[in-house]
Structure 1
């Protein structure tokens, strides 16, 4: 399994497509392994003429784990943030952005199209803002700015996200994963039961590490409002968001597009907080088309 040193840690990654094609780095979100990028989407992007790289973020999947490093509690972090204090956390989203750039270094890639989903979109925002010279384009998928005035997640989506599995037995973990996917998924594009169960079971067997998401969450909360940073982004930007996302409401995508100069916004009715097969062609076309326009290949 391919791994490389990046930003002082070891990251697991996968590559698809022709190595001589322009690189496209996919950054996944909160507590999610690289496998949450559907194979069909990865293959579609490779078929569009890109060297597609997806990887496990730190503290998840097969990448480096920060065992024994404690994150402050969510209540404490939230209260500190409300009074203008920045909580001390094990690592930041900026650190995770440096991981992605370090992966590009390890693979000998000077510049890449950066695509981030959910928390991965927040990490990608930092990449675009801090390392513009490494970015050919930036695509954000169902993410947000951190603006505290934006609508919050729906109660049932947030509850599903923070609810713990009944046990660490495989069947309990699979049922919990299915429950979460159904709760935050696309109302217009429900995943077939057999596919959802198979993908969830494969994910559980690949890696189960519940400590990682706790530290991921602390990085998100500590990052606060990124609006000011986003206004300085000069990388060509596309924002994709579902109009029926219960976890990160569509206003988060709209706010991102409003903050980043000349950003393009595309919203899709019936799309929630997942990557359904029915939208693979649409999403790959949007991402690839934006990348080509950004580099004058359209």
Structure 2
């Protein structure tokens, strides 16, 4: 997937880019920044990790089992399961509003109702265990953002990311979990845009 993203830059005739990724996208962004140094101006990694070992199951069995169930659900169950997934990983300080959440997830399902997508993504994350050394090779200005309430990828993983990358700035966001709570979106946009210069 990191290679695919660089191929997209090639297709767009874009020599360099600021790269921002969240969750699995943060893992991909870190791999890109660690391997394709000359293509990246800066890195912003949000609620992510450089090491998938120990994620989810050991400290949150309910969440881990729910994610596996979601990936095996029949089509008619997808909306309810996805809504429950979002509730499990979202901010408790700023929970998503029911109507907005349902509307957003209905659009997402209409765009792609592939029920095994979540399972494949989880498999890719679990299989990607050797990115620590790649992340340590990142040599561009780096911002690591992590929510204090994150139960899917706890904040200690974000702190470890910042330690792996020389000169990385770490931002802990109170009231944020594994989501982008609406009341914090403006602040997050400000923090990222300031990093991009």
Question: Same fold judged by TM-score > 0.5?
Answer: yes
Q: Which residue of 2 aligns with 1:222?
A: 127
Q: Which moves more between the two structures, 276-285 or 213-222? A: 213-222
Deviations 1:254-296 (A, max 9, x none): 000000000000001221101111111111111111011xxxx
Q: 1:121 aligns with which of 6, 17, 26?
A: 26
Q: Which residue of 2 aligns with 1:265?
A: 170
Q: 2:62 aligns with which of 156, 167, 185?
A: 156
Deviations 1:193-216 (A, max 9, x none): 110010011111111112333333
Distance 1:214 1:149 in 2: 17
Deviations 1:209-265 (A, max 9, x none): 123333333322222142222221101100000011010000110000000000000
Provide the aligned C-alpha RMSD in A.
Answer: 1.8
Distance 2:185 2:104 in 1: 16
Query: Which has the bigger relative contact order, CA under 8 A and spacing at least 6?
Result: 2
Give the structure with the larger helix fraction: 2
- Equivalent pairs, count: 195
CA 1:108/1:126 → structure 2, altered by over 3 Å: closer, same or farther? same
Q: Which residue of 2 aligns with 1:145?
A: 50
Shift of 1:156: 2.6
What is the 5 A alignment of 1:15-26?
A: none
Q: Which residue of 2 aligns with 1:243?
A: 148
Distance 1:212 1:191 in 2: 23
Deviating 4+ runs (over 6 angstroms): none
Aligned-partner SS, 2:188: helix
Q: Which residue of 2 aligns with 1:86?
A: none
Which has the larger Rg?
Answer: 1
Aligned-partner SS, 1:163: helix
Distance 2:121 2:157 in 1: 19
What is the 5 A alignment of 1:1-298?
A: 96-146=1-51, 148=53, 152-164=58-70, 166-169=73-76, 172-292=77-197
Gaps of 5+ in 1: 1-95, 293-298
Shift of 1:108: 1.7
Distance 1:291 1:269 in 2: 22
Gaps of 5+ in 2: none
Distance 2:12 2:114 in 1: 27
